[in-house]
Amino acid sequence: MTIVNTFQLRKAIAQEEFDYLLLAGALSQYIAVRQKINELLKAGVILRVKKGLYVFGPEYSQAPVVKEVLANLIYGPSCISLEYALAYHGLIPERVETLTSVTPKRDKEFQTPLGQFSYRYLAADKYPHGIEQVWVDRNHPVFMASPEKALCDYVVLNRVSGIIGSKSAREFLESDLRIDRENWKQFSPDALRKLNQCYRNKSIEHILETL
């Protein structure tokens, strides 16, 4: 049995996150590529995130795995949003363990060796608006909701109700989401107003008036 040369494998695959096609190409000199992949999985050289998507195991990684990249790849089309995006933008104080995204496809949950990834269905007429490409680092661009989209997605998908004026809007922002008032300036009223032309949500309208 020919043992896979892990040094050569790492030279062939520079990034930590990779798919089946890239892995199969790097192993093309071996007979029975699928068998070699299974051997690498059993040895812990690589970890399967989901079918056809892999990362290097801890002993073979050269940089931290970028979970935000995985979120875009695991289930798509999708965009990181909701609580995770609000935390990423520094709007809510809590560290969010589950990586939350929205998608125009049906709801999905993935429990992986890298953590939990949650996808919430958002209607196709709302989904594409407010998506930004952000660089988590110089090598990893990801699709992320703007602060305004993350807020709108949260309100709509969690069916937030009872916001009927500025007082209840303030309570929602400060008590429910725990967004410090100093951070409200990160929201662009113009961007929020434009988004709500698609979302058409009364709660968002009252939040906009308060901001």
pLDDT at 2 exceeding the cut of 70: no
Q: Which pLDDT score is estimated for 208?
A: 92
Residue 178 in tokens: 């725990």
Computed over every residue of the chain, the mean pLDDT equals 94
pLDDT at 1 exceeding the cut of 60: no
Contact 144, 134 (CB under 8 A): yes
pLDDT at 148 exceeding the cut of 70: yes
Percent of the chain at pLDDT > 90 equals 87
CB-based burial of residue 161 (10 Å sphere; 0-12 exposed, 13-18 middle, 19+ buried)?
Answer: exposed
Contact 53, 16 (CB under 8 A): no
Contact 179, 113 (CB under 8 A): no
Q: Which pLDDT score is estimated for 165?
A: 83
pLDDT confidence tier of residue 28, bands split at 50, 70 and 90? very high
Using DSSP's 3-state secondary structure scheme, residue 56 falls into strand
Average pLDDT estimate for 96-109: 96
| Residue reference for tokens 């790492």 | 10
* pLDDT tens digits, one per residue of 159-202: 998 888 888 999 999 999 999 999 999 999 999 999 999 999 99
| Residue reference for tokens 């290097």 | 56
Element at 83 (helix H, strand E): helix 82-88
Using DSSP's 3-state secondary structure scheme, residue 144 falls into strand
Q: Which pLDDT score is estimated for 138?
A: 86
Q: Which pLDDT score is estimated for 96?
A: 85
* pLDDT tens digits, one per residue of 70-101: 999 999 999 999 999 999 999 998 788 899 99
d(CA 75, CA 37): 22
d(CA 203, CA 111): 32
